[in-house]
């Protein structure tokens, strides 16, 4: 019988070897972290970010020193310097048309005539009132003069009676002193004298008050007649106004009345322009409202020749971002002008001065000049940057801060960029 070898558990304790743990130093870890961070930054910078824009769709200008020309170019229209508007002052039907649009007329020439039967009826009624009131005035004046005559006669009678009474009393005083007349009789004579004096005083007072009242009534009647006469004059003038005449020598413009047409009071029927005097009317951006002054000079080119003009009137009312100015030719308007012509006008606002400049473009109207997209050194990207501008004209912007000489700025419209902070220009 074969004996099996006995199984004995073998321990691995003699085979295990303790290996000491190695520690990494902190400087090595820090260098590794920095290296990873730099790598990430370089990777992110290598990835283009921003709004991609075709380079051909933008216009770029370089900021550079130069001379700022403190002037602007505006479009000006030729208009008559003297123009009288024809507004109907009365209503009516056109009865006669004596001229036509474009005709030359003299001051006082009939242009057209209206008919208005109601105005003539009003005139007749007022004339009738005037005649009636005048007749009443004559009657009242006759009564006043008659009353004055009566009063004078009565006063004369009373004064004569008083004189006789006074003489009678004086004689009786003498006779009484001599004893021929009793004192009672003298006293009665004295009473009669005083009574005559009282009658005279009362009559004078009564006549004065009555004559003053009648005279006041006459004055009131005269004022009433004057008012009625003024009304008659007004109605007569309104009838006269039915015949519309030219106020000045000139050319009839925008005149298209036809016989039989109805015209209402206040309707504009045309105007009369002086064909020898002209002015320029220009629309100027509201940005220059505080800088345009009366008397400032400008230059226009007419038939190849420069002509001097000056600002004579400024209308400060802003409409659609613009205000209007009027200019006149210095030394008289040149021959050959006609209303409706337009020409470029270079308006001088100040003296030329050295400045840091960039081309004026559409971007300034959208940003107000407070910021702009500035190209980077590689010319492939543009970053939004705050900007400060000063004066500007139609061609130049004065740079006060935000960019340096030699840097390039996108000066075309920013409307397609939205709120982007960075642009990538693609070929």
Q: Is the pLDDT assigned to residue 423 strictly greater than 90?
A: yes
CB environment 19-32: b (16+ within 10 A), e (fewer): eeeeeeeeeeeeee
Chain mean position to CA 320:
15
Chain mean position to CA 194:
80
Structure tokens at 121: 């009826």
Q: Which fold has domain 89-113+242-271?
A: OB fold (Dihydrolipoamide Acetyltransferase, E2P) (2.40.50)
Handedness of CA 151, 154, 158, 164 (dihedral sign): positive
Q: What phi and psi, each to the nearest 5 degrees, are found at residue 211? A: -65, -35
CA distances in angstroms from 199 to 148, 172, 208, 417, listed in the order given: 18, 22, 14, 111
* Predicted local distance difference test score (pLDDT) of residue 339: 82
pLDDT, one tens digit per residue, over 320-351 is 989 999 999 988 888 888 888 889 999 988 88
pLDDT, one tens digit per residue, over 205-263 is 777 777 777 777 888 888 887 887 887 777 777 778 788 899 999 999 889 888 988 98
Q: With contact defined as beta carbons under 8 Å apart, do 71 and 288 qualify?
A: no
Report how far residue 290's alpha carbon sits from residue 348's, in angstroms, rounded to the nearest whole number.
14
Q: What phi and psi, each to the nearest 5 degrees, are found at residue 95? A: -100, -30
pLDDT, one tens digit per residue, over 352-406 is 889 999 999 999 989 989 999 999 999 999 999 999 999 888 888 999 999 999 9
Report how far residue 311's alpha carbon sits from residue 301's, in angstroms, rounded to the nearest whole number.
16
Q: Is the pLDDT assigned to residue 277 strictly greater than 90?
A: no
Tell me if domain 51-68+353-426 and domain 72-81+277-348 are identical in fold: no
Q: With contact defined as beta carbons under 8 Å apart, do 324 and 284 qualify?
A: yes
* Predicted local distance difference test score (pLDDT) of residue 17: 52
Q: Which fold has domain 51-68+353-426?
A: 2.40.420
Q: Is the pLDDT assigned to residue 4 strictly greater than 90?
A: no
* Predicted local distance difference test score (pLDDT) of residue 32: 66
* Predicted local distance difference test score (pLDDT) of residue 77: 93
* Predicted local distance difference test score (pLDDT) of residue 182: 80
Whose tokens are 């009865």? That residue is: 95
pLDDT, one tens digit per residue, over 161-195 is 888 878 887 877 877 777 777 878 778 777 777 88
The pLDDT mean for the chain works out to 83
Q: Where are the chain's structural domains?
A: 51-68+353-426, 72-81+277-348, 89-113+242-271, 118-240
Can you list the positions of beta strands (E) in 26-145? 51-54, 60-62, 64-68, 71-80, 83-87, 92-97, 104-105, 110-115
Q: Choose among 270, 248, 233: nearest CA to 88.
A: 270
- Helical packing angle, 117-178 and 183-240, nearest 10°: 170
* Predicted local distance difference test score (pLDDT) of residue 28: 61
CATH number of 72-81+277-348: 2.40.30.170
Chain mean position to CA 404:
43
* Predicted local distance difference test score (pLDDT) of residue 336: 81
Higher pLDDT, 298 or 121: 298
Contacts of 220 (CB under 8 A, 6+ apart): none
Q: Is the pLDDT assigned to residue 310 strictly greater than 90?
A: yes
Q: With contact defined as beta carbons under 8 Å apart, do 303 and 288 qualify?
A: no
């Amino acid at each position: 019988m074969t004996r099996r070898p006995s199984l004995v558990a073998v321990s691995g304790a003699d085979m295990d070897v303790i290996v000491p743990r190695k520690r990494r130093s902190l400087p090595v870890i820090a260098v590794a972290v920095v290296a990873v961070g730099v790598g990430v930054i370089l990777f992110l910078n290598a990835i283009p970010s921003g709004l991609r824009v075709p380079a051909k769709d933008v216009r770029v200008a370089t900021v550079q020193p130069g001379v700022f020309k403190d002037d602007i170019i505006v479009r000006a229209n030729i208009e008559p310097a003297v123009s009288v508007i024809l507004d109907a002052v009365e209503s009516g039907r056109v009865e006669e048309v004596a001229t036509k649009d474009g005709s030359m007329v003299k001051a006082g020439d009939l242009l057209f005539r209206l008919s208005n039967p109601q105005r003539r009826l009003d005139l007749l009624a007022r004339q009738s009132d005037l005649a009636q009131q005048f007749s009443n005035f004559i009657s009242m004046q006759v009564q006043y003069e008659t009353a004055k005559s009566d009063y004078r006669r009565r006063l004369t009678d009373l004064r004569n009676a008083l004189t006789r009474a006074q003489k009678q009393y004086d004689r009786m005083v003498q006779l009484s002193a001599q004893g021929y007349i009793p004192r009672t009789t003298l006293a009665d004579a004295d009473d009669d004298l005083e009574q005559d004096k009282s009658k005279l005083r009362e009559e004078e007072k009564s006549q004065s008050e009555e004559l003053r009242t009648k005279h006041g009534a006459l004055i009131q009647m005269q004022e009433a007649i004057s008012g009625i006469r003024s009304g008659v004059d007004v109605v007569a003038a309104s009838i006269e106004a039915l015949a519309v005449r030219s106020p000045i020598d000139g050319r009839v413009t925008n005149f298209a009345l036809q016989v039989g047409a109805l015209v209402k009071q206040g309707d504009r029927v045309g105007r009369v322009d002086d064909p020898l005097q002209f002015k320029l009317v220009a629309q100027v951006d509201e940005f220059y409202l505080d800088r345009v002054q009366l008397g400032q000079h400008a230059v226009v080119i007419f038939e190849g020749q420069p002509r001097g003009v000056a600002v004579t009137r400024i209308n400060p009312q802003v409409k659609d971002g613009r205000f209007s100015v009027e200019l006149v030719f210095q030394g008289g308007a040149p021959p050959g002008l006609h209303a409706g012509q337009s020409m470029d006008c270079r308006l001088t606002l100040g003296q030329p001065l050295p400045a840091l400049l960039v081309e004026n473009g559409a971007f300034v109207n959208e940003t107000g000049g407070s910021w702009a997209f500035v190209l980077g050194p590689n010319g492939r990207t543009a970053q939004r940057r705050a900007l400060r501008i000063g004066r500007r004209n139609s061609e130049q912007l004065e740079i006060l801060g935000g960019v340096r000489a030699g840097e390039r700025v996108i000066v075309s419209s920013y409307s397609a960029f939205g709120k982007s902070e960075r642009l990538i220009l693609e070929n």
